[in-house]
Amino acid sequence: MDRPAIAGVRWGHDETRRCPVTALRAGALLLATLTTGLMAGLFAGFAYAVMPGLSRVDDRTFVATMRSVNQAILNGWFAVCFGGALVGTLAAVLLHLPAGRRAPLPWLLAALLLYGLVLAVTATVNVPLNDRLAVGAARSADPAQLRAMFEAAWVRGNLARAVLNTAALGCLGGALLVARPAG
């Protein structure tokens, strides 16, 4: 069945023969895009809602809430999204390496680099701060001192993650736009 061209759009996918590698490429790119989008949304939500909301509470409430969130977020859903963004993007890169499949490769490599930076910020800024907050709270340290040590640095790190992750998502969108199955 022929589909009409809409505003110059070609429906080239209609003639594509189905093969397992094509499905793997598409699946990896879809996994990467969805999980990267979920992570970008999580970090952005913290940047524009959660942390500004917590900036309005007293020190004890701030420390208790952040500790509770830091414990609650370590779950399977978070692991699937956090790890899926890396695994999906890396798989998409590897599956687009063969000649004739490289159009999305620059976008995918940029997304992989950006998400790698998200992981680096997480590992070097946010997780160590979360750990210091937990240790300090367990030792009954002064909530005002804990907050002073934690809040501004964590917010900056999270804002960096939100921007980097959103840029990675944009790159994956670019990859989706140029990816074309063989056909």
Closest CA to 92 of 82, 101, 83, 81: 101
Q: pLDDT at position 123, please?
A: 98
**Distance, CA of 94 to CA of 112 (rounded, Å):** 11
Hey, how many other C-beta atoms are within 10 angstroms of the C-beta on 8? Answer: 5
pLDDT < 50: residue spans in the chain = 1, 4-16
Contact assessment for residue 132 and residue 153, using Cβ atoms and an 8 Å cutoff: no
Sign of torsion over alpha carbons 105, 110, 115, 120? positive
Q: What's this model's pTM, rounded to 2 decimal places?
A: 0.86
DSSP secondary structure letter of residue 46: I
Q: pLDDT at position 58, please?
A: 98
* H runs (alpha helix) in the chain: 20-45, 51-54, 59-72, 76-95, 105-121, 127-138, 143-178
Q: pLDDT at position 9, please?
A: 41
Q: pLDDT at position 100, please?
A: 78
How far is C-alpha 101 from the chain's CA centre?
24
How far is C-alpha 52 from the chain's CA centre?
21
